[in-house]
Amino acid sequence: MMYEKIAENFLKNNGCLLLNHRVVKINHQNNKIKSIVISNKSKQKTISSDSYISSMPITELVQRLSPQPPKEIIQASKNLHYRSFVTASLVLSSSEPFPDTWIYVHSPEVKIGRVQNFKKWSHFMVSDPDKIALGVEYFCTEGDELWSMTDKDLIELALTELEKIKLIKKSDYLDGFVVRAEKAYPVYDSSYPKNIKLVKEYLANFKNLISIGRGGLFKYNNMDHSILTGLYAAENLLGASHNLEEVNADQEYQEEKTENGD
Ligand SMILES: Cc1cc2nc3c(=O)[nH]c(=O)nc-3n(C[C@H](O)[C@H](O)[C@H](O)COP(=O)(O)OP(=O)(O)OC[C@H]3O[C@@H](n4cnc5c(N)ncnc54)[C@H](O)[C@@H]3O)c2cc1C
């Protein structure tokens, strides 16, 4: 609802919003982005601007640059990985399976990672008070077995597993659908600090390009952090000098352990 409102205001102020388009190429020259090529499957179009703000995954941003960055930068971007995410959303006639908004599932006999109980977030999220809606979440990697399952098989898996851990009865199932989110989590593996440093240092050469957001900064940002990086990027284009890397730095600091393990 919030993003719909933002889009509405943007259009009212003569903004041009193109949904369902992919940026397929980013043309640059003399350390400046000159134009981007966008595609909506059937047609391609080139757009030029003075400045560019990107929230696509930083790995894709690098790999779409034309001419291509040096080999070591491309390799560093390929060595950065994201985890993806599949949700089987189920509508059931049961009563609440648990009183919480969500629970993490650690039972080794199932692949479920987390279950959302949408009605507990807000009753507005389930239109019929006699029904419940659960989001059965699986963490996966793009292209792996879970990611590639058909929607029908994923719904069947979710129902079977929920029944196995005694949260629902399969016979209460009414309807369902599947949502896939690619590159949902940046993977902080042992080589990511070196790789992200190389990629970000290279991108810093482009003075009219700012990469923002969660995938764009390769940082475990929440929605408020992601939005703030967008606001800061816009202000920087107007002359401010915010450091986007400092957004969400407090939390990392708080989560840091001291040498004593505190
Ligand atoms: C499972 C999950 C649960 C979360 N829960 C919470 C929560 O409870 N609270 C909270 O605050 N935050 C939560 N977050 C984090 C929050 O969703 C993110 O911080 C936020 O959505 C990131 O916004 P963004 O604009 O940076 O990126 P996204 O929302 O990921 O947007 C990036 C967009 O770029 C598009 N894109 C990719 N490639 C291209 C291309 N080549 N051309 C054009 N477009 C492209 C993608 O399709 C996508 O729409 C959660 C995230 C996940 C994955």
Domain 2-80+188-255 fold is: FAD/NAD(P)-binding domain (3.50.50)
- Give the distance from CA 24 to its chain's centroid: 19
pTM of the model: 0.89
Q: What are the structural domain ranges in the chain?
A: 2-80+188-255, 82-186
Judge: domain 82-186, CATH 3.90.660.20: yes
Ligand 1 atom nearest to CA at 87: 1
Question: Residue written as tokens 């407090």?
Answer: 250
The ligand 1 site (C-beta within 6 Å) comprises 22-23, 55-56, 60, 85, 181, 184, 213-216, 221-224, 226
Task: For the chain, 262 residues long, give each residue's pLDDT as a single digit of tens.
Answer: 889 999 999 999 999 999 999 999 999 999 999 999 999 988 999 999 999 999 999 999 999 999 999 999 999 999 999 999 999 999 999 888 999 999 999 999 999 999 999 999 998 989 898 999 999 999 999 999 999 999 999 999 999 999 999 999 999 999 999 999 999 999 999 999 999 999 999 999 999 999 999 999 999 999 999 999 999 999 999 999 999 999 988 655 455 555 555 4
* Residue 218 neighbours by CB under 8 Å, 6+ apart: 57, 58, 59, 80, 186, 192, 196, 199
Q: What residue owns the CA closest to ligand 1's atom 46?
A: 56
